[in-house]
Amino acid sequence: MNKYPKIGIRPTIDGRQGGVRESLEEKTMNLARSVAKLITENLRNGDGSPVECVIADTTIGRVGESAACAEKFEREGVGSTITVTSCWCYGAETMDMNPHWPKAVWGFNGTERPGAVYLAAVLAAHAQKGLPAFGIYGHDVQDLADDSIPADVAEKILRFARAAQAVATMRGKSYLSMGSACMGIAGSIVDPNFFQEYLGMRNESVDLTEIIRRMTEGIYDHVEFEKAMEWTRENCMTNEGEDIANRPEKAKTREQKDQDWEFIVKMMMIMKDLMHGNPRLAELGYKEEAIGHNAIAGGFQGQRQWTDFYPNGDYPEALMNTSFDWNGLREPITLATENDAGNGVAMLFNHLLTGRAQIFSDVRTYWSPEAVKRVTGKELTGMAANGIIHLINSGATTLDGSGAATDAEGKPVMKHFWEMTDKDVDACLQATTWYPANRDYFRGGGFSSNFLTRGGMPVTMVRLNLVKGLGPVLQLAEGWTVDVDPEIHKVLDKRTDPTWPTTWFVPRLTDKAPFKDVYSVMNNWGANHGAITYGHVGADLITLCSMLRIPVCMHNVEDEKIFRPASWNAFGMDKEGADFRACKNYGPIYK
């Protein structure tokens, strides 16, 4: 088990002794226990362990008890807090003052005691002190003896907790750039100020010669390598595709292809060691290399200096982002193709909120119904009828993205790794063909993963961009993967690169721009890549971004699902404009 931050539960109370406080002690602590139980039973960390909560030793009625709670939370590794109360409390004395902890307050909606009055008062104190807090107030009045959590309150508590845990988990970790900028892609011009000030992360970087050095000098676990090669021969090399991308003079020989397979397996082992470290290396005498870079996410430059000479990174990129490898089921490792840190951060946000593997794709082409009819002679139907966006990538998409895993009803799904079965793993592997890389693109060879994502999965496409003078902004589009007529797919796929994996995507359309049509979504996308996660999680992303002071410039989430700190209401009645103004006003957490 990894060590994860915990969520602190702060039961606040009316401090007046002599009848008032005593009558509320049990009720207040019961609410705190209910919140802790809700979170622990419903939320998991990336390794599958339950999110842990820490409750203050006593109820908090005066500032001394606030201080004692804060000291306990520091010792226990708390990274965010939820304050709960059923009554009036002394707001400025009982509030959480830690500037780095995301914070929420649940004021119990009951008539016997004014929990709502405290909620309003303490949120005003948070706003006045510049410490934004999320306000949680149930829609319906509850009886004082009722310690249950209403559904609307539970939804907000869990939305806050998911996002807050993501914020706390990133803090103190690293983004590892393996290589540097790729082919002039802006996202791979990594901005350390953004990572430091907005995410609380540091930036680490290694030149790609480090991978070659470790290969050449044998700085990897040779026993694991043999295990990895045996698994790769049985599960990947057996699904090697024909060399359809290369002219005969560019095709590699069988011996060269076998050497490429060994090379890319070693690449993956070394890239994992660089990110996370490996105690096995210390046993082998490589103490420095065993440490790793404490990376929660990373990126591999690849093109062009590497791929013009060595096999490409498609195999390690695809498999690291997958929920399994030769060691069995495990948490997917967030790794961005082409070292696109903007997309890597979007993948990381998605993964921390969902615990699932992430699809990295080019947002390649919008196909209108008219264009499809002209090119193929066939019409798009069903969910694809209004046009489709071709998500395709140079071979590095997670194998989970095939949609080959299924739920109890046989529908495609991208599962948490701890829910995957042997049947799911085998289905994902069998759905993937490994084609020899197109050597017009990748002169050094290698292999590209290829599959067609099954339609019908709810997904959210996300991107983080940096804008001069504005800072970071996030955009998202909830939608679905879709199936198209096989003949349509065949024709359209051949117009790009048939050795790469394809996902056909349609966003959920609304009556508001830029979601009035599929073309507008594509036309308003801010970069060449997107991070795609299973599920409609736009509301969670909006909550997370408000904690990080990152405005959301494009989304199709219903207004009633949007949950931001209470003080955002003071920045105007238009929700999105208020988001930009509030983020600018407060600035990044760690600056």
Residue type, 360: F
Cβ count near 240 (within 10 Å): 14
Using DSSP, state whether 241 is helix, strand or coil: coil
283 is catalytic: no
| Annotated binding-site residue? 340 | no
User: Where are the domains positioned within the chain?
Assistant: 6-170, 174-586
Helices and strands per DSSP (H, E), number in the chain:
18, 20
Query: Residue 378 corresponds to which tokens in the numbers above?
Result: 């066939």
d(CA 180, CA 167): 26
Distance separating alpha carbons of residues 439 and 415, to the nearest angstrom? 34
- Is 25 annotated as catalytic? no
Q: What is the DSSP letter of 181?
A: -
> What is the DSSP track for 446-507?
-EEEE-BPPS--EEEEEEEEEETTTEEEEEEEEEEE----HHHHHHHHHTS-TTS-EEEEEE
CATH topology of domain 174-586: L-fucose Isomerase; Chain A, domain 3 (3.20.14)
To the nearest whole number, what is the mean pLDDT of the chain? 96
Cα 4 → chain centroid? 16
pLDDT in tens, 332-350: 999 999 999 999 999 999 9
The pLDDT tens digits of the residues spanning 382-407 come to 999 999 999 998 767 999 999 999 99
Would you state the torsion angle of the CA atoms of residues 287, 289, 292, 293, taken in this order, to the nearest 10 degrees?
120
Q: How far apart are CA 450 and CA 467, in angstroms?
A: 34
Q: Which of 582, 562, 548, 570 is nearest to 472 (CA)?
A: 548
> ω before 514 within 30° of 0 (cis)?
yes
CATH number assigned to the domain covering 6-170: 3.40.50.1070
Mean pLDDT of 118-142: 94
Whole-number Å distance between alpha carbons of 368 and 154: 41
Rounded to the nearest 10 degrees, what angle do helices 341-354 and 151-170 cross at? Answer: 140
d(Cα 560, Cα 558) in Å, to the nearest integer? Answer: 6
Please state at what angle helix 486-494 crosses helix 369-376, rounded to 10 degrees.
90
CB 401 within 8 A of CB 501: yes
pLDDT of 2 reads 83
Q: 536: which 2 tokens?
A: 């409609």
Between CA 309 and CA 476 the distance in angstroms is: 36
Share of the chain above pLDDT 70, in %: 99
CB 590 within 8 A of CB 198: yes
Bridge partners for 191 per DSSP? none
Phi and psi (nearest 5°) for 447? -140, 140
Tell me whether strands 335-337 and 295-300 are parallel, antiparallel or unpaired. parallel
Dihedral of alpha carbons 208, 398, 461, 6, sign: negative
| 3-state class (DSSP) for residue 261 | helix
pTM over 0.85: yes
Please say whether the beta carbons of 260 and 445 come within 8 A. Answer: yes
% of residues, the chain, pLDDT over 90 = 94
- Residues 514, 327: Cα–Cα separation, whole Å: 44
One of 96, 243, 338, 424 is an active-site residue; which one? 338
Give the sign of the dihedral formed by CA 368, CA 501, CA 334, CA 39.
positive
Contact 253, 511 (CB under 8 A): no
The CA-based dihedral angle spanning residues 438, 443, 445, 450, taken in that order and rounded to the nearest 10 degrees: -30
Q: Is 262 annotated as a binding residue?
A: no
pLDDT score of 109:
81
- First and final CA of the chain: distance in angstroms? 31
Tell me the C-alpha distance between 528 and 187, whole Å: 9
Round to whole Å and give the CA distance between 70 and 73: 5
Question: Cis peptide leading into 304, omega within 30 of 0?
Answer: yes
- How crowded is the C-beta side of 211, counted as CA atoms within 13 Å? 27
Amino acid sitting at position 176: L
Distance in angstroms (rounded) separating the CA atoms of residues 278 and 210? 16
Site of tokens 């209004």: 386
Three-state SS sequence of 115-153:
HHHHHHHHHHHHHHHCCCCEEECCCCCCCCCCCCCCHHH
Cα-trace Rg, the chain? 25
What does the pLDDT look like over 23-77, one tens digit per residue? 999 999 999 999 999 999 999 999 999 999 999 999 999 999 999 999 999 999 9
How do residues 416-472 score in pLDDT, each as one tens digit? 999 999 999 999 999 999 999 999 999 999 999 999 999 999 999 999 999 999 999
Q: What is the pLDDT of residues 490-521, one digit of tens each?
A: 999 999 989 999 999 999 999 999 999 999 99
pLDDT band with cut points at 50, 70 and 90 for residue 137: very high
Strand-pair partners of 303: none
Closest CA to 176 of 264, 269, 2, 296: 296
Q: What is the mean pLDDT of residues 299-319?
A: 96
Greater confidence (111 vs 364) lies with 364
Evaluate if residue 112 carries a pLDDT over 80: no
Q: How far apart (Å, rounded) are the C-alpha atoms in residues 157 and 94?
A: 20
Whether 271 contacts 178, CB under 8 Å: yes
Active-site residue, selected from the candidate residues 325, 362, 478, 540: 362
- Would you call 553 helix, strand, or coil by DSSP? strand
Residue 1's pLDDT band, with cuts at 50, 70 and 90, is low
**Nearest Cα to 336, choosing from 355, 354, 350, 353?**
350
- The answer to the question of whether 331 is labelled as a binding residue is no
